[in-house]
Amino acid sequence: MSDPILSAELTPEELAGYQDDAAALAVKYKVSKVHVYVAIAPETNERVVGFLKEPSYLQKIVALDKIATVGPFMAGDELREVLTIREESDPRTFDISSNCDCYRMGMTGACIPIIDMIKNSFKKK
């Protein structure tokens, strides 16, 4: 029996399934949220999925300081290192082999917007 042919785009059903997986992992790992990273391998359309825990308040503060001093990608990569749930993620999302760089960089990029803030709504008149 041959493997099913995967689409080059995620279906809404696939995305919903990954989000359900993330919700279950948040419960399993006792964190407020788990973020999903999904890449599609160009040669095979295989899904390369990574899961990232929501950072703690202190991790967010440290990342914001690092963004201000050394740049967003160094801060994002440090977050990727500590937030990746390795037991649940595709090894290509954290493997140090050079052929996995594109997936690790994708995970790094996914870490930067995790630091979400609500801006001050107060306006002076």
Examine residue 30 and state whether it is found in any structural domain, yes or no: yes
Higher pLDDT, 120 or 85: 85
- Structural domain boundaries enclosing 82: 12-114
Examine residue 107 and state whether it is found in any structural domain, yes or no: yes
Examine residue 22 and state whether it is found in any structural domain, yes or no: yes
Model pLDDT for residues 50-105, shown as the tens digit of each residue: 999 999 999 999 999 999 899 999 999 999 999 999 999 999 999 999 999 999 99
Examine residue 121 and state whether it is found in any structural domain, yes or no: no
Q: Where are the beta strands (DSSP E) in 1-125?
A: 34-40, 47-53
Domains in the chain, number: 1
CA distance 104 to 117: 25
Q: With bands split at pLDDT 50, 70 and 90, how would you rate the model's confidence at 8?
A: confident
Model pLDDT for residues 10-30, shown as the tens digit of each residue: 999 999 999 999 999 999 999
High-pLDDT (> 90) share of the chain, %: 79
Q: What is the pTM of this model?
A: 0.88
Q: Which of 48, 57, 66, 58 is nearest to 112 (CA)?
A: 66
Q: Which CATH number does the domain housing residue 31 bear?
A: 3.30.2220
Sign (positive or negative) of CA dihedral 64, 70, 71, 74: negative
Examine residue 32 and state whether it is found in any structural domain, yes or no: yes
Examine residue 122 and state whether it is found in any structural domain, yes or no: no
Q: Which of 16, 25, 44 is nearest to 86 (CA)?
A: 25
